[in-house]
Structure 1
Amino acid sequence: MSEWAAKRFWTDATVASEADGHTVRLDGRPVKTPAKAPLVVPTAAMAAAIADEWQAQGDKIDPLSMPVTRGANAAIDRVRPQHADVADMLAEYGDADLLCYRADGPEGLVERQAAAWDPLLDWAAQTLGARLEPRTGIMHAGQDAHALSQLRGAVHALDAFELTAFHDLVSLTGSLVIGFAAERGAHAPETLWAASRIDETWQAELWGEDEEAAAAEDHKRGAFMDAVRFLSLARSH
């Protein structure tokens, strides 16, 4: 039965252990992904979170209220079968990382970027062995090949569930370094999100906040926090 059936068809969602992980059962029937694969996740904590999402549904299923279930589906149906391609795509962010492209003015923005972004680049150099260099302007300038190789290797080392979360951490911020800082708990997620939005925050302070842009920003922030939580659940034991 498709997990995205329009109406609720179960009473109880429970967690069960499998030989290769943990799953969720709806009135004893195992949940499957949209591609009909068994929904087996790496930790009991993630399975419990998925069961809670299913249990919280009303008469009709709302997939948007189930971020952990959606993340698990993506890991199993999309990321795992093409792990190398997804990792390569994300690693490419290193050569055009948000943190490396700096404004040439005004002075306040230049200082704000440097204060938030320079320490993150230093952290990447120390922790990941990858020194990325900042430059002024938006024209692309390639980074050191060794640094990019180090980053690529670290991306490929993530498993399918970790990589699923990492995809959102990187794509939502435009920064491979911020993605790794979130993945490794280098700073609070709110601090990292704020660092990724320095340009947008500056513009809002200068010209005023646009209601539609603010709503889109809030949605992206929520997705970033969901990815942080998904990654934590993937590693909880």
Structure 2
Amino acid sequence: MTLRPLKRIYKDVTTGSVDGLPTVLLDGRPLLTPAKSTVVLPNQAMACAIADEWREQGDEVQLQDMPITQLAVSAIDRVSPARDDVVAQIAGFGETDLLCYRSEQADLADRQAELWQPMLDWASDALKAPLLTVSGIMPAQQREDSVVALRSAVDGHNDMELAALHSITTATGSLILALAVSAGKIDAESAWELSQLDETWQAERWGVDIEATERAGHLRQELIAATRFLNLCRETSVAGN
């Protein structure tokens, strides 16, 4: 979805603090969310990243080019007021995780087993969440203790981190890949390549679908931006100008 540009009505972009926590100032006034909440941030590194996005705008503010701002606003306006619902939505991906569904084509299934199974083994060991795999599209009934363990892993993220985790999960179609990125097990590019295993196999045999490639490019950028945001959430810098 393309967001409607806004006319730029500010000149100066700086960082400051509200109640000792970093924020971004537009002409000396704290940045507000669409719900009129002050954008209070976890650290100075994120404040600087968001300030850079606002400085880089021209005569119009192109919100689609400001992913760090968008994720911070989403955390404040959408995640915080409905945290339990967001946790449940993200955790729900684990019950039908992409990595659990194997192709009935033998060569693709072999590739999936080789590249996806290590991620499921990691989830079993690190998250105590063993997941069943199936061939075809019939849903697998996952163990209740695994579902509970995955929800606990998701719930262990703060509101800002949840905004990023949600974006990574939806971009890849896999909660396991998102949690692996969050844990530092894999990076964004590895997560993307693993999530696109089926599409890569199809392109090798039938050729590239231009429209699908364009859509995938947008998802990849969302994944990269969300991973950067997640890393910014964990910076330890303090408030300052």
Give TM class, smaller chain: over 0.9
Contact 2:5 2:62 (8 Å CA) reproduced: no
Equivalent residue number for residue 34 of structure 1: 34
Alpha carbons of structure 1 residues 178 and 20: separation in structure 2 relative to 1, 3 Å: farther
Q: TM-score, normalised by structure 1?
A: 0.95
- For residues 176 and 95 of structure 2, what CA distance do their matches in structure 1 show? 11
Contact 1:23 1:39 (8 Å CA) reproduced: yes
In the alignment, does 2:118 pair up with 1:119? yes
Counterpart amino acid of 2:234? R
In the alignment, does 2:185 pair up with 1:158? no
After TM superposition, the structure 1 = structure 2 runs for residues 120-159 of structure 1, keeping only pairs within 5 Å, are: 120-159=119-158
Deviation at 1:9, TM superposition (A): 1.8
Counterpart amino acid of 2:88? D
Deviation readout 1:133-187 (Å, 9 max, x if unpaired): 2111110121111111111111112111000000011111111100100111101
Matched position secondary structure for 1:15 = strand
Matched position secondary structure for 2:99 = helix
In the alignment, does 2:161 pair up with 1:169? no
Deviation at 1:207, TM superposition (A): 0.6
- For residues 130 and 5 of structure 1, what CA distance do their matches in structure 2 show? 43
Alignment gaps of 5+ in structure 1: none
User: Once superposed, what is the RMSD of the aligned Cα atoms?
Assistant: 1.2
- For residues 93 and 99 of structure 1, what CA distance do their matches in structure 2 show? 11
Equivalent residue number for residue 86 of structure 2: 86
Equivalent residue number for residue 224 of structure 1: 223
Contact 2:94 2:175 (8 Å CA) reproduced: yes
Equivalent residue number for residue 239 of structure 2: none
Counterpart amino acid of 2:120? L
Contact 1:30 1:38 (8 Å CA) reproduced: yes
Contact 2:133 2:140 (8 Å CA) reproduced: no
- For residues 68 and 8 of structure 1, what CA distance do their matches in structure 2 show? 18
Equivalent residue number for residue 235 of structure 1: 234
Contact 1:90 1:167 (8 Å CA) reproduced: yes
In the alignment, does 2:46 pair up with 1:46? yes
Equivalent residue number for residue 70 of structure 2: 70
Deviation at 1:34, TM superposition (A): 0.7
Equivalent residue number for residue 19 of structure 1: 19
Counterpart amino acid of 1:205? E
Contact 1:101 1:134 (8 Å CA) reproduced: yes
Q: TM-score, normalised by structure 2?
A: 0.94
The ranges of structure 1 where at least 4 consecutive aligned residues each deviate by more than 3 angstroms after the TM superposition are none
- For residues 99 and 20 of structure 1, what CA distance do their matches in structure 2 show? 43
- Could you say which structure has the greater relative contact order, defined with CA pairs below 8 angstroms and 6 or more residues apart? 2
Contact 2:103 2:109 (8 Å CA) reproduced: yes
Deviation at 1:231, TM superposition (A): 0.5
Moved more, 9-18 or 42-51: 9-18
- For residues 47 and 187 of structure 2, what CA distance do their matches in structure 1 show? 25
- For residues 188 and 223 of structure 2, what CA distance do their matches in structure 1 show? 8
Equivalent residue number for residue 98 of structure 1: 98
Moved more, 18-27 or 186-195: 18-27
Alignment gaps of 5+ in structure 2: 237-241
Aligned length: 233
